[in-house]
Structure 1
Amino acid sequence: MQSWRQIYWGRTRKQFVDGLTDILKMTGADPPSRAPHTLFSFNSQEDLRMYATGCDADIGGNSTVNLDLDEASAPHTHIQTHNARTTHATAKFWGDMRLDVRPQYQGRVRGGYAAFRNKPRPTLFGDILDNIEFHEYLALRLRVSGDPITHNSYFVNLQTNGPITTDVWQHRLFFRKKNEWEDVFIPFRNFVRTNNGELSEIQLEMSPHLRSVGISLLGGNSAVSGKYQLNIDSIRIVNEEDAVSDLGNLA
């Protein structure tokens, strides 16, 4: 297990090497890449250490939140070995969504949320940001289960390097399947600006430099409670020509 210092200097070294390579290869003169790009994977304990979780229990509520490695519900990959498709572990975001709060906090706080997002990625040259300027869609490979009543209360949350640090760009997650893997594609243009949990009256253009990507379950917004579970395999950026599910070809 790497310490935070090893992770920090590893990121810094990679930033330096990548920047030097770009200079030597003069990649700035090349057309921008529109190829699909994986922002985050959820396939190992090392991957999961990059994420932070939170829920209303942090402020007096009774919900629970967990983000664990799940090796029992892995999706098929594209790799085949001896005519058998291999599988890999994924993350399991799960817990109990509760609307009630502890007695001493009644009337003072609102229950009903759980969330995770990637942690900041600092280096000697500043935080790592992901450039989405030349990609149209956020692509998430997911499998929703848990109580069906919770399925319509998931949201994707983006933070950028925009001028207002408390802004969160949000879009509801819509699922076509239950307890099956699927790819969900969300156009970046459809995300809306929120601040402090409320829709902002003024909708600005979203910065193309992503600081964090996260998923939340907002049961308090729709009076939804119950056991929730969402498995996550990857988060990518793609374009329209790539926005087709690969999972249908793996049945």
Structure 2
Amino acid sequence: MASHWSNYANRSAQIVRDSLAKMLLMKGAEVPPREPRILFSFNTKEDIRQYATGCDADIGGNSTVHLDLDENPQHNTSIGKAATGVFWGEMRLDVKPGMEKKIRGGYAGFRNMNRPTIFGNMMEDVSNHHFLALRLRIAGDPRTHNSYYVNIQTDGPISTDLWQHRLFFRRRDNAWEDIFIPFDNFVRTNSGEMSESQIKMYQEKIRSVGISLLGGNSAVTGKYELGIDTIRAVNEEDVEATSVSPHSP
């Protein structure tokens, strides 16, 4: 409980600091800040508690989902971290008896939970950045590697809109890599389907960012594992400067 109220107070104080800084420095009249920003991290137990998980088992499927803190040095030493997050479980397409033809199996995912403050839920403004950057480590059954998606929810006019982009991995050797996705390349979806009307994402108020494994879309099953270190907002000049080399051990 103490941790909950501490987070609440810290988030509220951060909003006050950011607002005061904008007024005192008159940032609206200056060149917009372009430095990289860490939006979400997965390096402590407290970090991991900020995310919600879900899978088709919530409605009658048989997939499993976990988001845990991974303190294995073999996974983390190469990026200089003591711990990172690991999203793992088993992707299954079958469903529980009696649920046949009622639901479709093959889904697991996580996203950050709402972050309440005295001013309302905390949002992220990434309007001065062009890329979402994710530091990830792909493992698990190779069949699952091509079915991951990153999802963004904004505080736009339609609350059920979800902005989605598939994750494409260069490495397949259980090593870290940075994946950069232009915000303009995200596709607007609603209720799991691509929206006919594609509009620009409302980057000024990002409510949540998450990752999902959609095995049901591609008839993929198997044990899945995805390491995750950070989710960041960056610009063109940061893409190469902040990358984990695809040739590093």
Query: What is the TM-score normalised by the length of structure 2?
Result: 0.93
Displacement after TM superposition at 1:10 (Å): 2.2
Question: What letter corresponds to residue 19 of structure 2 in structure 1?
Answer: G
**Which stretches in structure 2 are left out of the alignment for 5+ residues?**
none
Q: How is 1:160-171 mapped onto 2 (pairs within 5 angstroms)?
A: 160-171=154-165
Question: What letter corresponds to residue 92 of structure 1 in structure 2?
Answer: V
Aligned residue number for residue 235 of structure 1: 231
Say if 2:94 is the partner of 1:97: no
Q: How is 1:80-91 mapped onto 2 (pairs within 5 angstroms)?
A: 86-91=80-85
Aligned residue number for residue 144 of structure 2: 150
- Higher mean C-alpha deviation, range 64-73 or range 12-21: 12-21
Aligned residue number for residue 225 of structure 1: 221
Q: How is 1:42-191 mapped onto 2 (pairs within 5 angstroms)?
A: 42-72=42-72, 73-77=75-79, 86-178=80-172, 179-191=174-186
Q: Distance in 1 between matches of 2:126 and 2:21?
A: 21
The aligned length equals 243
Considering only aligned residues, what root-mean-square deviation do their CA atoms show, in Å? 1.6
Displacement after TM superposition at 1:69 (Å): 0.3
Q: Distance in 1 between matches of 2:111 and 2:160?
A: 14
Q: Spell out, residue by residue over 1:29-82, the C-alpha distance to the aligned partner (whole angstroms, 9 max, x if none).
A: 3211011111111100011111000000000000000000001111534xxxxx
Query: What is the TM-score normalised by the length of structure 1?
Result: 0.92
Q: Spell out, residue by residue over 1:64-123, the C-alpha distance to the aligned partner (whole angstroms, 9 max, x if none).
A: 00000001111534xxxxxxxx43210000000000000021111111000000011111
Q: Spell out, residue by residue over 1:195-217, the C-alpha distance to the aligned partner (whole angstroms, 9 max, x if none).
A: 00011111111101211100000
Say if 2:208 is the partner of 1:212: yes
Aligned residue number for residue 39 of structure 1: 39
Q: Distance in 2 between matches of 1:61 and 1:174?
A: 26
Displacement after TM superposition at 1:13 (Å): 2.1
Aligned residue number for residue 29 of structure 2: 29
Relative to structure 1, the CA distance from residue 75 to residue 199 in structure 2 (aligned partners, 3 Å threshold; closer, same or farther) is farther
Q: Distance in 1 between matches of 2:89 and 2:107?
A: 11
State the identity as a percent. Answer: 59
Question: What letter corresponds to residue 36 of structure 1 in structure 2?
Answer: P
Q: Distance in 2 between matches of 1:39 and 1:10?
A: 15
Q: 2:42, 2:85 within 8 Å by CA — same for their partners in 1?
A: yes
Relative to structure 1, the CA distance from residue 143 to residue 2 in structure 2 (aligned partners, 3 Å threshold; closer, same or farther) is farther
Displacement after TM superposition at 1:26 (Å): 3.2
Say if 2:196 is the partner of 1:194: no
**Which stretches in structure 1 are left out of the alignment for 5+ residues?**
78-85
Q: 2:43, 2:81 within 8 Å by CA — same for their partners in 1?
A: no
Aligned residue number for residue 3 of structure 2: 3
Q: Distance in 2 between matches of 1:116 and 1:136?
A: 23
Q: Distance in 2 between matches of 1:17 and 1:145?
A: 40
Q: Distance in 2 between matches of 1:14 and 1:36?
A: 18
Displacement after TM superposition at 1:183 (Å): 0.4
2:98 partner SS: helix
Question: What letter corresponds to residue 143 of structure 1 in structure 2?
Answer: R
